[in-house]
Structure 1
Amino acid sequence: MKHLSMEQILERIYLSEQFDEMRIARDQVHEMFREHLLFSHTPELGRQVNVIHDAFIQRTIELAEHILEDEGYGKPPVPYAFLLFGSGGRSEQTLWSDQDNGLVYADSEEHSEEQLEAYFTKLVDCILEGLDALGYPPCEGNVISSNKQWRKPLAGYIDMMMGWLQEPDWENVRYLLILADMRCIYGAQSLADPIKNAFLAYVQEQPDILNYLLSNTLHHKISLGVFGQLITERYGEDAGGFDIKYGAYIPIVNGIRLLAIQAGIAHSSTWQRIKLLKDNSFIAEGLANEWSEAFDIALKLRDLTPFQLENEMYTTRGRLGADQLTKEIKHELKQCLRAGVELQKYVKKSIVSHKEREKG
């Protein structure tokens, strides 16, 4: 397996006919990439990991469709899109990312809502059974297509989102920011685009919503002390370690995402958001370079966090161990965190300035 090319790995995935067969491939790919990431981490390796995750998920959906057809439920009655949120939506999954997904399907005059709901409930159950077999744990926050909130016809999705926009309490804003990272991984892209486009159009027409999004965006602070020291874990089995996910990666992702929403950028990848913010003159090239470098460091260190298998699921606590915080790692991490602190200040200033301009 160590000598297989990307093309050979992807071919092996797409030729798999059973979930168990794909699980064997995932375990082998995982070990191969884990070794590479530990000893020679590059952004390209991270991108390859996400291409492979996409292939596993897409093949799982194809097999689920075939299983339902074999069981007499037929083909999908209407077009649908399988959506990824979170790091999957941003194409930033680690080797051990969990499931954050949804499903949107077309409205129909030929089939009743009950018929559509019955089919897509069965389809989702089968897809998630496959992802479970592959070792993807379900989202702890229940942002998953088995939850009816995230499995709806297109009109239902848009109505739900508009309700959140018109009542932007903390939980609804959290859901809106989850939707902002949406990506169609399988099926009809034309069902995903209207949701994102309606969201961005509302923000342009009602920019006051940005103030509500800002509060949630800045909820996770960069874990750097006022004297430039790392804020490490104080208690438990991670004592002395560093929470790279919530202390560095998530604050940077959140800040870039809100600037992209403000600018009307639909792309969900953090890398692409930074590039488009720069290309469209929303930020200076120097800032774009600084943020890209900080983001690359955050991704690299996130990929180095220890993982474990729990009930055959790949999981991580998202923390670097105290023994991993070498002098070199601390230097890189502080560089990343200083840029993150400035990013959060910039985001706050940008939204407040926007509000003042609107008032003026």
Structure 2
Amino acid sequence: MNHLSMEQILERIYQSEQFDEMRITRDQVHEMIREHLLLSHSPALGRQVNQIHDALIQRTIELSEHILEDEGYGKPPVPYAFILFGSGGRSEQTLWSDQDNGLIYGDSEHHSEDELEAYFNKLVACILQGLEMLGYPPCEGNVVSSNKQWRKSFSDYMDMVLAWFQEPEWENVRYLLILADMRSIYGTQALVHRLRTGFLDYVKEHPSILNDLLSNTLHHKISLGVFGHLITERYGEDAGGFDIKYGAYIPIVNGIRLLAIQAGLHASSTVERIKQLKGDSHIPESLANDWQAAFDVALKLRDLTPFQVENELYTTRGKLSGEQLTKEIKQELKVCLRTGIELQKFVKKSIGAHIEKEKEKG
């Protein structure tokens, strides 16, 4: 980055005392990084983008705590963890990612549930207001900590997860897979570690649940036709373009996530999941390398999708325009998509074999 070093950017963020100060920094950094993405893309640049997002969100939470204290609500009454889902949970955010978050707070013998709920409801309202001021749009699916479903005590979270597992209808399975990508970004990480452990322990003890997770995982198909042509958008303003998010990136992410769940891995990022699957000999090294290469392409092209600022919020439709689909990009994309198709086949076969093996064990 030509204008500011990472150290300078992070220092500016952590020294900010107002949300609007951080918004100015975010806008400046956004333009700097966008210039770099147009020239060249690298995994290192992607990691820097996510470091900056983490810093902005962490400082927003710190300032929100201070605001509540100044207003007479005191410090947090119990330990808590603010968690990110989706691309934030996987440390795969683009410059224009939206909010997917939740909050887990510890159980208490000294505070009533109403007292805890009152404090964390106010805290979350302040955090989300701050994040909107920074340009993060709320999650369209309402997977956000202002929704009480995603703001609960640890015990209530565990009860909710158990209920989803015991009634694995489509929506409940979708929620379980959202939860599988959670990452603590602020607060007491042990709460998230315990929740993930409970999640993975249930899967280990009830391997047949993997069948339900599989059907949801394979819901998004790779956008490559039977004759090897790209399946592009047919109508509207994106006509001729390619849905890189749902046609390439999400199917790859979903497949690797399910293999990580099957293997009992705690990692939430796709890159780390591939490394651990390879390192623990769950997959051959050659496959891991192919998947990593395909994932790198999907990430790179996802970062190049056009974006817009609407009502002061950064948004994107996650689609490459027809003009961006050069001969070179199409060729690169087709290799990525063919790997994605093989990955989905591997996942289906692996889950089926695992369930059969567990049945034989009794």
Q: Fold conserved (TM > 0.5)? A: yes
Q: Match of 1:5? A: 5
Map of 1:84-233 to 2, 5 A cutoff? 84-233=84-233
1:61 is matched with: 61
Report the Cα offset of residue 125 of structure 1. 0.2
Residue type matched to 2:149 in 1?
Q
* TM-score normalised by structure 2 residue count: 0.99
Instruction: Tell me the CA shift for residue 353 of structure 1.
Output: 1.1
Alignment of 1:202-281 (within 5 A): 202-281=202-281
Alignment partners' CA distance in 2, 1:83 and 1:350: 30
Mapping of residues 35-54 of structure 1, within 5 Å: 35-54=35-54
Correspondence for 1:303: 303
Q: Deviations over 1:107-147 (max 9, x none)?
A: 00111100000000000000000000000000000000000
Aligned AA (1:23): R
Identity of aligned residues (%): 78
Q: Which amino acid aligns with 2:269?
A: S
Partner AA of 1:176 in structure 2: L
Matches of 2:2 and 2:48, distance apart in 1:
15
1:40 Cα deviation (Å)?
1.1
Paired residue for 1:321? Answer: 321
Structure 1: gaps spanning 5 or more residues:
none
User: Distance between the aligned counterparts of 2:161 and 2:355, measured in 1?
Assistant: 23
Report the CA distance between 1:2 and its aligned residue.
4.3
The secondary structure found in structure 1 opposite 2:81 is strand
Q: Structure 2: where are the runs of 5+ without partners?
A: none
Which SS does the other structure have where 1:222 is aligned? coil
Name the Cα RMSD after superposition: 0.7
Q: Is it true that 1:294 corresponds to 2:294 in the alignment?
A: yes
Residue type matched to 1:288 in 2?
Answer: A
- The alpha carbon displacement at 1:38 in A equals 1.2
Query: Aligned partners of 1:36, 1:155: CA distance in 2, in Å?
Result: 45
Kindly provide the amino acid, as one letter, of the partner of residue 211 in structure 2. Answer: N
Q: Which amino acid aligns with 2:130?
A: G
TM (normalized to structure 1)? 0.99
Contact 2:3 2:32 in 1 (8 A): no
CA displacement, residues 11-44 of structure 1 (integer Å, 9 cap, x when unaligned): 0000000001100000000000011011111010
SS at match of 1:102: strand
Letter in 1 for 2:175: Y
1:245-298 per-position Cα deviation (integer Å, ceiling 9, x unaligned): 000000000000000000000110000000000000000000000000000000
- What SS class does the counterpart of residue 141 from structure 2 fall into? coil
For 1:38 and 1:25, how far apart are their aligned partners in 2? Answer: 20
Q: Give how far 1:358 is off.
A: 2.4
Helix, strand or coil: the match of 1:152? strand
